[in-house]
Structure 1
Amino acid sequence: MKNIFFTLFFFIFITAFSQQEDAWLFFKDKPNAATFMANPTSMLSQRAIDRRNNLLISVDEKDVPINENYISTIKNSSGITVLGKSKWLNAIHVKGEINVINTLLSSYNFIDHIEFANKFLNPNGKSKRKKVVSNHQNKWNKTSTDFNYGSANNQIKMLKGDYLHQQGLTGGNQIIAVIDGGFPNVNTLAAFQRIRDHNQILGGYNFADRNSNFYTRDGHGTQVLSTIAGYIENEFVGTAPDAKFYLFITEIVESETVLEETLWVEAAEKADSLGVNVINTSLGYTTYDNENHSHSYEDMDGKTTFISRGAEIAASRGMLLVNAVGNSGNDSWKYMGAPADAPSVIAVGAVNSIGNIASFSSYGPTFDGRIKPEILAQGANAVIINHVSGAISSSNGTSFSSPIMAGLIACLNQNSAFLLKSYPTKKTNTIQNFNYYLKKSVFESADRYSNPTVQHGYGIPNFEVALNNYTASLEDNILTNMKISPNPVKSSFNIQNLENSSGTYSLQIFNILGKKVFEKQTVSSENIDIATFKKGIYFLKIFNDASSRTIKILKE
Structure 2
Amino acid sequence: MRKMFIFAMVFGVIAGISAAAKAQSAERISPRLQDALASKAAGETVAAWVFFTDKGPQAAALLSEAEARLTPKALQRRLRNRGAGNLVDRHDLPVNAQYVQEVASRAARIRHKSRWLNAVSAEIEKSEIAKLAQLPFVKKIDLVRSARRPMPEVHPLSPSLHKGGDPGIHSLNYGPSLAQNQQINVVALHDLGYNGSGVMVAMLDAGFNNLQHEALANLNILHTWDFVNGDSNVEDEPGQMGSGNHGTLTFSALAGFKEGELIGPAYGADFILAKTENTDYERHIEEDHWVAGAEWADSLGADIISSSLGYRDFDPGEFSYTWQDMNGDIAISTIGADIAASRGILVVNSAGNEWEPIPPVQNTLIAPCDGDSVMAVGAVTESGNRASFSSMGPSADGRIKPDVMARGVSTACASPYSPTGYSTANGTSLSCPLAAGAAALVLQVNPSASNMQILQALRNTANNAGAPNNQYGWGIINAYNAAFAVTGMAGGEISLPDRIELFPAYPNPFNPSTTIRYRVPQNGTATLTAFNLLGQQVATLAEGPRAAGEHQVVWNAQGLPSGVYYLVLSAARQRQVQKVVLLK
User: For residue 521 of structure 1, what is the aligned residue in structure 2?
Assistant: 523
C-alpha offsets along residues 118-166 of structure 1, whole Å, 9 cap, x if unaligned? 89xxxxxxxxxxxxxxxxx742445342322431110011111112222
User: For residue 190 of structure 1, what is the aligned residue in structure 2?
Assistant: 214
Candidates 454, 460, 484, aligned match of 1:444: 460
Q: Distance in 2 between matches of 1:363 and 1:157?
A: 25
User: For residue 293 of structure 1, what is the aligned residue in structure 2?
Assistant: 319
CA deviation after TM superposition for structure 1 residue 244, in Å = 0.8
Greater CA drift, 258-267 or 221-230: 258-267
SS in 2 for 1:152: helix
Counterpart amino acid of 1:93? S
CA deviation after TM superposition for structure 1 residue 288, in Å = 8.0
User: Where do residues 393-472 of structure 1 align in structure 2 (5 Å cutoff)?
Assistant: 393-417=423-447, 420=448, 434-472=450-488
Q: Distance in 1 between matches of 2:218 and 2:434?
A: 18
Q: Distance in 2 between matches of 1:384 and 1:13?
A: 43
User: For residue 141 of structure 2, what is the aligned residue in structure 1?
Assistant: 114
Q: Distance in 2 between matches of 1:503 and 1:252?
A: 53
C-alpha offsets along residues 356-402 of structure 1, whole Å, 9 cap, x if unaligned? 11111111111111111111100001011111114122111110000
SS in 1 for 2:287: helix
Q: Distance in 2 between matches of 1:95 and 1:297?
A: 27
Counterpart amino acid of 2:213? L
Q: Distance in 1 between matches of 2:39 and 2:343?
A: 43
User: For residue 407 of structure 2, what is the aligned residue in structure 1?
Assistant: 378
User: For residue 319 of structure 1, what is the aligned residue in structure 2?
Assistant: 345
User: Where do residues 50-69 of structure 1 align in structure 2 (5 Å cutoff)?
Assistant: 50-55=76-81, 56=83, 57-69=86-98
Q: 1:148 to 1:259 in 2, by over 3 A?
A: closer
User: Where do residues 81-230 of structure 1 align in structure 2 (5 Å cutoff)?
Assistant: 81-106=109-134, 108-117=135-144, 138-149=148-159, 150=161, 151-186=176-211, 188-195=212-219, 200-216=220-236, 217-230=243-256
Q: In the alignment, is the contact (CA less than 8 A) between 1:117 and 1:293 conserved in 2?
A: no
Q: 1:503 to 1:88 in 2, by over 3 A?
A: farther
Q: Distance in 2 between matches of 1:92 and 1:258?
A: 19
Q: Distance in 1 between matches of 2:416 and 2:144?
A: 34
User: For residue 397 of structure 2, what is the aligned residue in structure 1?
Assistant: 368
Counterpart amino acid of 2:261? E
Q: In the alignment, is the contact (CA less than 8 A) between 1:278 and 1:321 conserved in 2?
A: yes
Q: Distance in 2 between matches of 1:213 and 1:416?
A: 34
Q: 1:115 to 1:13 in 2, by over 3 A?
A: closer
Q: In the alignment, is the contact (CA less than 8 A) between 2:386 and 2:472 conserved in 1?
A: yes
Q: In the alignment, is the contact (CA less than 8 A) between 1:138 and 1:284 conserved in 2?
A: no
Q: Distance in 2 between matches of 1:285 and 1:401?
A: 18
Is residue 2:224 matched to residue 1:231? no
C-alpha offsets along residues 508-529 of structure 1, whole Å, 9 cap, x if unaligned? xxxxxxxxxxxx937xxxxxxx
Q: In the alignment, is the contact (CA less than 8 A) between 2:251 and 2:433 conserved in 1?
A: yes
Q: Distance in 2 between matches of 1:81 and 1:501?
A: 59
SS in 2 for 1:369: coil
Candidates 248, 273, 279, aligned match of 1:253: 279
Counterpart amino acid of 1:478? G
Q: In the alignment, is the contact (CA less than 8 A) between 1:472 and 1:546 conserved in 2?
A: no
- Structure 2 regions of 5+ residues with no counterpart? 1-35, 162-175, 237-242, 502-521, 525-546, 553-584
Q: 1:13 to 1:212 in 2, by over 3 A?
A: closer
Greater CA drift, 147-156 or 310-319: 147-156
Counterpart amino acid of 1:38? S
C-alpha offsets along residues 56-91 of structure 1, whole Å, 9 cap, x if unaligned? 1511121111122211121112x5532222110101
TM-score (norm. length: structure 1): 0.74
Q: Distance in 2 between matches of 1:356 and 1:380?
A: 10
Q: 1:360 to 1:304 in 2, by over 3 A?
A: same
Q: Distance in 2 between matches of 1:45 and 1:341?
A: 29
Question: How large is the RMSD of aligned CA atoms in angstroms?
Answer: 2.9
Q: Distance in 2 between matches of 1:413 and 1:259?
A: 32
Greater CA drift, 59-68 or 335-344: 59-68
C-alpha offsets along residues 310-347 of structure 1, whole Å, 9 cap, x if unaligned? 00000000011111111111676761100011111111
Greater CA drift, 261-270 or 461-470: 461-470
Q: In the alignment, is the contact (CA less than 8 A) between 2:309 and 2:349 conserved in 1?
A: yes
User: For residue 421 of structure 2, what is the aligned residue in structure 1?
Assistant: 391
SS in 2 for 1:191: coil
Q: Distance in 2 between matches of 1:379 and 1:353?
A: 8
Q: In the alignment, is the contact (CA less than 8 A) between 1:81 and 1:94 conserved in 2?
A: yes
User: For residue 533 of structure 1, what is the aligned residue in structure 2?
Assistant: none
Q: In the alignment, is the contact (CA less than 8 A) between 1:36 and 1:42 conserved in 2?
A: no
CA deviation after TM superposition for structure 1 residue 25, in Å = 1.2
CA deviation after TM superposition for structure 1 residue 416, in Å = 2.3
CA deviation after TM superposition for structure 1 residue 182, in Å = 0.7
Q: In the alignment, is the contact (CA less than 8 A) between 2:148 and 2:284 conserved in 1?
A: no
Counterpart amino acid of 2:198? N
Q: In the alignment, is the contact (CA less than 8 A) between 2:392 and 2:401 conserved in 1?
A: yes
Q: 1:278 to 1:256 in 2, by over 3 A?
A: farther
Counterpart amino acid of 2:121? H
CA deviation after TM superposition for structure 1 residue 294, in Å = 1.3
C-alpha offsets along residues 466-509 of structure 1, whole Å, 9 cap, x if unaligned? 122212222xx1318xxxxxxxxxxxxxxxxx5779979xxxxx
User: Where do residues 239-278 of structure 1 align in structure 2 (5 Å cutoff)?
Assistant: 239-254=265-280, 260-278=286-304
Q: Distance in 1 between matches of 2:470 and 2:459?
A: 15
Q: Distance in 1 between matches of 2:184 and 2:125?
A: 51
Counterpart amino acid of 1:253? T
Q: In the alignment, is the contact (CA less than 8 A) between 2:443 and 2:483 conserved in 1?
A: no
Greater CA drift, 83-92 or 296-305: 83-92
Q: 1:173 to 1:330 in 2, by over 3 A?
A: same
CA deviation after TM superposition for structure 1 residue 104, in Å = 1.2
Q: 1:395 to 1:499 in 2, by over 3 A?
A: closer
Q: Distance in 2 between matches of 1:246 and 1:33?
A: 30
- Structure 1 regions of 5+ residues with no counterpart? 1-11, 120-136, 421-430, 481-497, 505-519, 523-541, 548-556
CA deviation after TM superposition for structure 1 residue 257, in Å = 7.1
Percent of aligned positions that are identical: 32
Counterpart amino acid of 2:185? K
Counterpart amino acid of 1:145? H
Counterpart amino acid of 1:359? S
Q: Distance in 1 between matches of 2:314 and 2:264?
A: 33
User: Where do residues 456-535 of structure 1 align in structure 2 (5 Å cutoff)?
Assistant: 456-474=472-490, 477-479=491-493, 498=495, 521=523
